[in-house]
Amino acid sequence: MTLGLAQNDKLSSKERVVRTFNYEIPDRVPVNYMYNPEIDKRLKGYFSLQPTDDEGLRQALGIDFRVINAPYVGPLLYAPIPERKVDPLLGFRTRWVPHETGGYWEYCDYPLVEGDVETAKNFPFPDPDYFDYDSLEEQVKEYKDYALVLGSNGLGTVICRLGFYMGMSEALIALQLEDPAALILMDRLLDFQLKHLERMLHQVGDRVQLIWMGEDLGTQIGPLIGMKLFDRQILPRHQNFFDLAKAYNVPVMIHTCGSSSWSYEKYIQAGLRAVDTLQPEVKDMSPSYLKKTFGGRLVFHGCISTRGAVAYGTPEEVEREVLETLEIMMPGGGYCLAPTHRLQDNTPLENAIAMYTAAHKYGHY
């Protein structure tokens, strides 16, 4: 079972996304899907799919993007810890925190909380050689008609990633004070990510449509940090990723939760093509503000709030919100419809279906 609206499509997903990222008019707005586990499980049940059938759900929803990755095949880096999830590549730890609609993995047991330089120098990040880069060829072949994406919203991330190792408050203080341990750890992590990305681009960069990275830079009411700190600690590190992407002629999209548009002019100058998440209810992030201020200079990806009608409204209200967003964002192209960050577990199933049905119903040019 699918939403049954793809018969109106004239282009492949790949062609649609390429046109959108070139500020050309496609046949319809590209659509993407990000999710938390419980709503993902319910959507798969709605379409009579197995719990592990991620591709089946993407096809059912008419999703245009496919993330590909070279899997790690090296030795175990971190020992398991009871009642904790240890990230197999980056080693940060999380604990399960239940809530009334599901649960989430909360970061904990911060290994760098004491600011130890020796810990930062010796933390066991992966060797870029220990990845199966040849497997990318099969993924490219499997998803040849879709827009292929390298990276994630954690690629190149400075503030949040550092927060995983020392807590968010300590991370912000450490960046402001240029704490040696924090900067050593961060630069080692980013060096690994940059080399890993370069190896993947060397393998399939001529067939990839997008690099996805991240940096949350805003609260709900304004910037998370000042411009001076952004210029000193964030942008130079991100410039390395933009320069690498430019060498392979692949556009970059950055995930920016919260009120982040204050940073977009600097990012445009650095070579950024697209911005992701775009919470419409926070300061200077409404669709009308973004389109008026950055339309034609940035591609927009997101804008459908997971705090609004999708979570708390009716299917009719979701449909109306999607339609209103499309009416603002579609003119002139440069828009991809997606939830802000991820569909949350408190999303009613019928609202998630209404969101994607409306995207395909009203998103045609």
Residue range 284-292: mean pLDDT, rounded = 98
249 contacts 209 by C-beta, under 8 angstroms: no
**Of 98-107, 167-176, 228-237, 254-263, where does mean pLDDT reach its minimum?**
98-107
HSE on the CB side for 237, CA within 13 Å?
24
Q: Is pLDDT above 80 for 365? A: yes
Residue range 163-169: mean pLDDT, rounded = 95
Q: Is pLDDT above 80 for 217? A: yes
Q: Given pLDDT bands bounded at 50, 70 and 90, which one contains residue 4?
A: low
Residue range 272-297: mean pLDDT, rounded = 98
Domain 7-71+127-154+185-362, second-level architecture: Alpha-Beta Barrel (3.20)
Instruction: Give me the residue spans of the domains in the chain.
Output: 7-71+127-154+185-362
Q: Cα separation of 314 and 290, whole Å?
A: 26
Q: Model confidence over 18-76: pLDDT tens digits?
A: 999 999 999 999 999 999 999 999 999 999 999 999 999 999 999 999 999 999 999 99
Q: Given pLDDT bands bounded at 50, 70 and 90, which one contains residue 278?
A: very high
pLDDT at 5: 67
With a pLDDT cut of 70, the percent of the chain lying above it is 99
125 contacts 186 by C-beta, under 8 angstroms: no
Q: Is pLDDT above 80 for 2? A: no
Residue range 199-217: mean pLDDT, rounded = 97
Q: Given pLDDT bands bounded at 50, 70 and 90, which one contains residue 114?
A: confident
Q: Is pLDDT above 80 for 275? A: yes
pLDDT at 364: 96
pLDDT at 1: 66
331 contacts 289 by C-beta, under 8 angstroms: no
275 contacts 300 by C-beta, under 8 angstroms: yes
Residue range 143-171: mean pLDDT, rounded = 96
Q: Is pLDDT above 70 for 319? A: yes
| Average pLDDT of the residues of the chain | 96
pLDDT at 240: 98
Which of the pair, 1 or 338, is modelled with greater confidence? Answer: 338
Helix crossing, 180-204 with 235-247: angle to 10°?
10
